[in-house]
Amino acid sequence: MTGFEVYKMYLALKMHFTKDNYDYVKYRGKVSASEKSFEERRDRYFFKKLAAKYEDHVIQDYFVANFIHDPKGYIQSFSIDNYERWKVNQESFSYKFRQDVHLLLEDFEAPYQDKFDKIFKVREGKHPSLLKYYLSGEVKLETLVVFETCLGYVGLFDKKLSDPIWKEVRKRVIKYKPFIKINCQEYKDTILTVIRTKL
């Protein structure tokens, strides 16, 4: 990839994470940008450096990791540290997911197989426990993405929640979803294992 191509990837991913009507996967990262305007940018060397240093898939992951860290996508806040932390998180996520499910069930008493659905229950416009745990930083965004991919709760929340906090979290979940490889059977098995071990 050239520096200009990396810049176009950045623009496309920025649109994906910040605009409701742009889908990076659907439009295959296509954006309108001119090489002339790119060469006039002060930060062009940043994109050229990324192009020289990393392979295409690493550059995409680098941008995704940084957009998850800073949803507004300010290039000044992007760093290799954010990417490294994200990568470690991806590699250990199966373990973290198990911990998250265990934590989410702590609010309830056994038998847990009857209680799992309650983490998605919305009462009178109040945030369900899944959302509360995420907002307090105790549950990972990836866990919300897994639950949406494999169980589909966003539509349910949409019917009962309309506050800006939910809308922002919803956007992050939906926009992040295409970039995580998820084996639903594996995660469903993990949920059942946690329920069994907690009994």
**Given pLDDT bands bounded at 50, 70 and 90, which one contains residue 44?**
very high
Residues 84 and 97 reside in one and the same domain = no
Residues 176 and 106 reside in one and the same domain = yes
Cβ-Cβ contacts under 8 Å for 27 (sequence gap 6 or more): 12
Per residue, the 3-state secondary structure of 101-166, as one string, reads: HHHHHCCCCCCHHHCHHHHHCCCCCCCCHHHHHHHCCCCCHHHHHHHHHHCCCHHHHHHHCCCHHH
Residues 24 and 69 reside in one and the same domain = yes
pTM: 0.92
Which CATH number is 134's domain given?
Answer: 1.10.220.50
Which CATH number is 81's domain given?
Answer: 1.10.8.60
Residues 96 and 193 reside in one and the same domain = yes
The CA distance from 2 to 131, in Å, is 41
Give the total number of structural domains in the chain.
2
Decide: 125 and 141 in contact? Cβ < 8 Å.
Answer: no
Residues 108 and 55 reside in one and the same domain = no
Residues 129 and 102 reside in one and the same domain = yes
Residues 85 and 102 reside in one and the same domain = no
Per the model's pLDDT, the better-predicted residue between 73 and 158 turns out to be 158
Residues 33 and 60 reside in one and the same domain = yes
Give yes or no for residue 199 having a pLDDT over 70: no
Query: In terms of C-beta density within 10 A (0-12 exposed, 13-18 middle, 19 or more buried), how is residue 89 classed?
Result: middle
Residues 132 and 174 reside in one and the same domain = yes
Structural domain for 102, as ranges: 92-198
The CA distance from 38 to 4, in Å, is 7
